[in-house]
Amino acid sequence: MKPTKTNNIETGVTESINRAHCRELDISGLKLWAEENLPRSSPIRSILLLERGSLTVEEFIAKMDIWLKLVDMVRSTMK
């Protein structure tokens, strides 16, 4: 039986998702930004500096929302 176009698309999407789960993102730039721009007393600075140098895409996405909220909180107190 010849594979259908839909099956090929589904297989391609599944393969892309699997590759994304394995890929790691380098967050050294983010860590450097935190070190240079956030006050030493900032909890988000400490959290970011304690992170590993690279995270999986899934880990990064899960943590990013919290990091952004904490950065906003720090910025509002710095004004």
Q: Residue 27, class by beta-carbon neighbours within 10 Å (0-12 exposed, 13-18 middle, 19+ buried)?
A: buried
For residue 23, name the pLDDT band (cuts at 50, 70, 90).
Answer: confident
Alpha carbon 40 to its chain centroid, in Å, reads: 22
Q: CA-to-CA distance for 75 and 63, rounded, in angstroms?
A: 18
Ordered by start, the domain boundaries in the chain are 24-78
pLDDT tens for each residue of 33-74:
889 988 898 889 999 999 999 999 889 999 999 998 988 887
Looking at residue 51, its pLDDT comes to 95
